[in-house]
């Protein structure tokens, strides 16, 4: 996301809208000048916004997204935000749990804890069990 303005500010969202709607082709429905006039922003401000480099915060968030994705993949998609934050701390990256949670949500990373393995003490008989002792358990009469 470009711009030095705060994420989600009204002016930046207008610039983003113009940037998405305007194509560098002749078949564009509306010109940049027309859209800027309708949205109440200056045309020079829009072009200035497009030419700005990414802010330091946006660059750091992109770097953190790469590290979070790496830690998530290394854990076989089982680490939650707290464990990923601890892993980043072990790697020497200072970041809070809330920021990790927010970036995981942006990346669409949802941890999945595998079900614990349940051990069964009895084995199901695969067909007929052979009678190795040869005892007879049939009764002549009830009781």
Looking at residue 70, its pLDDT comes to 95
Domain span holding position 96: 56-107
Mapping DSSP to helix (H, G, I), strand (E, B) and coil, where does residue 132 land? coil
Same domain? 62 vs 98: yes
63, 22: one domain: no
Q: Is residue 83 part of a domain?
A: yes
In a domain, 14, yes or no: yes
Number of neighbouring beta carbons within 10 Å of residue 79: 22
- Which of 108 and 30 is assigned the larger pLDDT? 108
**106-119 burial: b if 16+ Cβ within 10 Å, else e:** eeebeeeeeeeeee
Tell me whether residue 140 is in a domain: no
Average pLDDT over residues 11-26: 76
Distance CA 126, CA 143 (A): 32
What pLDDT score was predicted for residue 26?
Answer: 58
Nearest CA among 136, 142, 68, 70 for reference residue 105 = 68
Give percent above pLDDT 70 in the chain.
Answer: 86
Token pair, residue 133, equals 């002792």
Kindly state whether residues 60 and 93 are assigned to the same domain: yes
Q: What's the structural domain count of the chain?
A: 2
Residue by residue, DSSP assigns 49-66 as HHHSPPPHHHHHHHHHHH
Question: 69 and 37, same structural domain?
Answer: no
CB distance 91 to 67 below 8 Å:
yes
Checking if the pLDDT of 39 tops 70, the result is yes
Q: What is the pLDDT of residues 115-130, one digit of tens each?
A: 888 887 776 666 677 7
Q: Do 61 and 103 sit in the same domain of this protein?
A: yes
Q: How many helices (H) and strands (E) does the chain have?
A: 6, 0
Same-domain status, 61 and 94: yes
């Amino acid at each position: 996301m470009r711009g030095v303005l705060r994420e989600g500010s009204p002016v930046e969202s207008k610039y983003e809208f113009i940037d998405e709607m305007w194509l560098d082709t002749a078949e564009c429905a509306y010109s940049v000048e027309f859209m800027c006039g309708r949205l109440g922003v200056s045309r020079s401000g829009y072009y200035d916004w497009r030419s700005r480099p990414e802010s330091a915060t946006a660059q750091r968030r992109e770097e953190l997204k790469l590290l979070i994705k790496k830690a998530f993949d290394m854990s076989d998609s089982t680490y939650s935000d707290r464990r990923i934050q601890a892993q980043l701390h072990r790697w020497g990256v200072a970041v809070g749990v809330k920021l990790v949670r927010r970036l995981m949500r942006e990346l669409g990373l949802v941890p999945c804890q595998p079900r614990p393995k349940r051990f069964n003490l009895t084995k199901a008989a695969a067909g007929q069990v052979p009678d190795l002792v040869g005892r007879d358990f049939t009764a002549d009469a009830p009781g």
